[in-house]
Amino acid sequence: MNDRGVVVVLAAATLVALAAACLVGSVPLGVDRVAAALLGGASAGDRVVVWEIRLPRAAAALAVGAALGASGAALQGLLRNPLAEPGVLGVSATAALGATFVIYYGLGSAGGFALPVAAIAGALAATTFLTVAAARVGSVVTLILVGIGLSSFAAAMMALLMNLAPHPFSLSDMLNWMLGTVANRSFDDLVPTAPFLVAGLVILFAGRRGLSALTLGEEAAAGVGVDLPRTRRLVVVGAGLATGAAVAIAGAIGFVGIVAPHLVRPLVNHDPARTLAPSALLAGLILVVADIGVRVAPTDTELKLGVVAALLGAPVFVWIAARRRVPGG
Would you state the pLDDT for residue 109? 60
Apex 283 CA angle, 28 and 297, nearest 5 = 35
Ramachandran bin of 326, using left for φ above 0, alpha for ψ from -120 to 50, beta for the remaining angles: beta
Tell me the C-alpha to C-alpha distance, in Å, between residue 187 and each of 4, 9, 180, 195, 284. Answer: 30, 26, 18, 13, 17
CA distance 1 to 20: 26
User: What integer pLDDT is reported at residue 64 of this predicted model?
Assistant: 97
pLDDT of residue 112: 66
Question: What pLDDT is recorded for position 215?
Answer: 79
Quick one: three-class SS letters along 215-241?
CCCHHHHHHCCCCHHHHHHHHHHHHHH
Degrees, nearest 5: CA angle 299-63-246: 85
Written as one string, the DSSP assignment of 93-115 is HHHHHHHHHHHHTTGGGG-TTHH
Whether residue 238 contacts residue 50, with contact meaning beta carbons closer than 8 Å, is answered with no
- State the CB neighbour count (10 A cutoff) for residue 193: 28
C-alpha closest to that of 38 among 21, 51, 24, 27: 51
CA–CA separation, 131 vs 143, rounded Å? Answer: 10
**At how many degrees (to 10) do helices 194-206 and 55-79 cross?**
30
CA dihedral (318, 290, 294, 107) in degrees, to 10, reads 90
Say which amino acid occupies 73. Answer: A
- Alpha carbon distances (Å) from 52 to 22, 44, 154, 183, 250: 11, 11, 33, 11, 17
pLDDT tens for the 329 residues of the chain, in order: 677 899 999 999 999 999 999 998 877 788 998 999 988 877 888 889 999 999 999 999 999 999 999 999 999 998 888 878 888 888 888 998 998 888 888 776 655 688 888 988 999 898 888 878 877 776 667 777 888 899 999 989 988 988 888 777 778 778 877 888 999 899 988 998 999 999 999 999 998 888 888 877 777 877 777 888 888 888 888 999 999 999 999 988 988 999 999 999 999 988 998 999 999 999 999 999 999 999 988 888 888 999 998 888 888 878 877 776 544 44
Measured between alpha carbons, how far is residue 258 from residues 19, 149, 230, 261 in Å?
26, 18, 24, 6
User: Which CATH class for the 3-323 domain?
Assistant: mainly alpha
Rounded alpha-carbon distances, angstroms, from residue 285 to 16, 66, 177: 9, 8, 21
The phi-psi region of residue 142 (left if phi > 0; otherwise alpha if psi is between -120 and 50; otherwise beta) is alpha
Sequence-distant (≥ 6) Cβ neighbours of residue 81 within 8 angstroms: 140, 143, 144, 329
CA nearest 57: which of 94, 20, 100? 20
Q: What is the pTM of this model?
A: 0.90
Q: What are the domain boundaries of the chain?
A: 3-323
- For residue 77, which of 316, 276, 246 has the smallest C-alpha distance? 276
Residue 297 phi/psi, 5° resolution?
Answer: -65, 135
- pLDDT, position 264: 93
